[in-house]
Structure 1
């Protein structure tokens, strides 16, 4: 039972991404941060003091936080190998959760969770944050209104540069398969998959290529080289609902790219292009009624109407209070996403096209 119409949130994992979630929690009157969990005692106390969280609500053990009767809902920002465990505990204690992507370390974990979830479902949201970029939301509406006709092809790229040799990035958990599952594919590719599902629909088959460019990185603790066993690059083609063809590319070795997640949708009557680095703009190429006969449509950049701005955790608050909004990424979306990731890996390893179902 939620007290006083305010949802008391327990935050598990206080690393970099947790700062964004702390900010989002503070922006919504429906949410209050009431408990924290991290294995780093110094970080736990620093943030606990900043947020005014009492010492008895600062936990080193995530199960203790999840079991706490004063915690109404959980937000989890932990490394990938812990994703399934947090979800399992939340199902056991029947606590609503906002979990980060990728859904699990691998699809076997996702299948095991699905068995538990079907018996004891809970409000579960997965952090596919690009559904909350205004330009992405506006593009979704335009597609629903048939603004560019039937979609024939979607091109999705997610490029970052931090892994390139130029920056001499040391070994970290993101380069360790046992902790992260995959490299660029799970980190960035999971968002590409969700964007395609958000705009177009389900995946039917994939044909993939994955590559590791930097095979060894220096351990910051002892200076020794450690083997990198995850991908720096993944590309794949796919067939989606209504035979829409998809082309996907992600890498963390694209010098010059910051956080470049972009989607281009090609329809019978026009094209839509969005880029998360320009969240309030959309590029449209559609023939205007005022255009002269025979005039070819050209790309124009439009400002996204303010009505398409929405804070991600607003949907989580609505989900927790049994007021689920259309388009909220749920347990099912996380499960399907992990299935597609698994088929991409299978395709890359076999060198063959793989059916998703």
Structure 2
């Protein structure tokens, strides 16, 4: 099994529950410290995880500076992402950080300068790299199964923001806390999936729109202005001239968590959908007399890998090139920045 790594978890909201479950699945990770500004929630989770009183923090830097904490797992709102990373660089503490990398690209550039002087082990939570079908698709592309890739179509659709659900005003609709709306929330995953499967972005041309301009404050009952996007679409040129079409919204009634990618090559097509994680749709000519139609195939168990397994691998010097690192977070934020610029100017933007 190897050494057990003691981790501290910062941010104990809903998403932290999924991370806590993943930690429990791995014998190499052990939660010894927690941090949250909500003292009641902190106490409840600490009781569930048997965390000692002196390891229950309301100040994130105190947890990060704790010498008994080997690594940090951070699940805080977007406006705190950069601060957590900055403190981890300061205290040279390994971290698994959530996406989007930062609130904006200025924060990403600031962190890059700090990181260049004092690098740390850093993984960014681009979780769709751990969908078995996505991992299998990457191998098929590497093996040239569908020939030269010409274009891809990426969609990430959810429905919770649609007016029919009357979702109140929460932090995800506040630009000062979240940075962007659907673009940073779902679009960041689309960007990473394209980078993971195809390569770097070279240019983007985008459109962003807000559909629901006001939402009710659940505390005061007053209507508050929504200043982030409900919809984002963009075209892109990626490495080797591959063309990409991307669309994302949280206002697609009928969609659950529909992140899907279709990769079109000279010899065939691959389609994956995170809602069917162990299946892949593929259209290739396997026999001389076979019609070119889509067939659904089961994905082998060998492509299953839990996200935090890679964090352990990173911490124990057993990492692979597929682990999303600080660089991937930075590059992702750069693409987000240029998508915003393109939307504001109405022009195609080249990515340096």
> Per the shorter chain, which TM-score range?
over 0.9
Deviating beyond 2 angstroms after TM superposition, the runs of 4 or more aligned structure 1 residues are none
State how far apart, in whole Å, the 1-side matches of 2:272 and 2:214 are. 35
Structure 2: gaps spanning 5 or more residues: none
2:284 matched residue in structure 1: 286
Counterpart pick for 1:312 among 301, 307, 315: 307
1:192-237 Cα offsets, whole Å, 9 max, x none, are 0000000000000000000000000000000000000000000000
Report the 3-state secondary structure (helix = DSSP H, G, I; strand = E; otherwise coil) of the residue aligned with 1:279. Answer: coil
Counterparts of 2:303 and 2:120, CA distance in 1: 28
The alpha-carbon deviation at position 322 of structure 1 amounts to: 1.8
- When normalised by structure 1's length, the TM-score is 0.98
2:316 counterpart of 1:321: yes
Cα deviation for residue 141 of structure 1 reads 0.6
Q: State the number of aligned residues.
A: 351
Name the CA distance, whole Å, in 2 between partners of 1:107 and 1:223: 34
Aligned equivalents of 1:343 and 1:8: distance in 2?
38
Q: Say which of 68, 85, 88 aligns to 1:87.
A: 85
Query: Where does residue 234 of structure 1 map in the other structure?
Result: 232
The residue correspondences of 1:186-201 to structure 2 (distance < 5 A) are 186-201=184-199
Deviation at 1:326, TM superposition (A): 2.5
Find the counterpart in structure 2 of residue 40 from structure 1: 38
- Distance in 2, matches of 1:150 and 1:101, equals 31
| Aligned residue among 26, 47, 55 for 2:24 | 26
> With structure 2 as the length reference, what TM-score do the two structures score?
0.99
1:314-334 superposed Cα distances (whole Å, 9 cap, x missing partner): 100110112212200000000
Residue 212 of structure 2 is aligned with which of 206, 211, 214? 214
Q: Which of 250, 253, 267 is the equivalent residue of 2:251?
A: 253
Q: Unpaired segments of 5 or more residues in structure 1?
A: none
Aligned counterpart, 2:298: 303
- d(CA) in 2 for partners of 1:95, 1:257: 39
2:137 match: 139
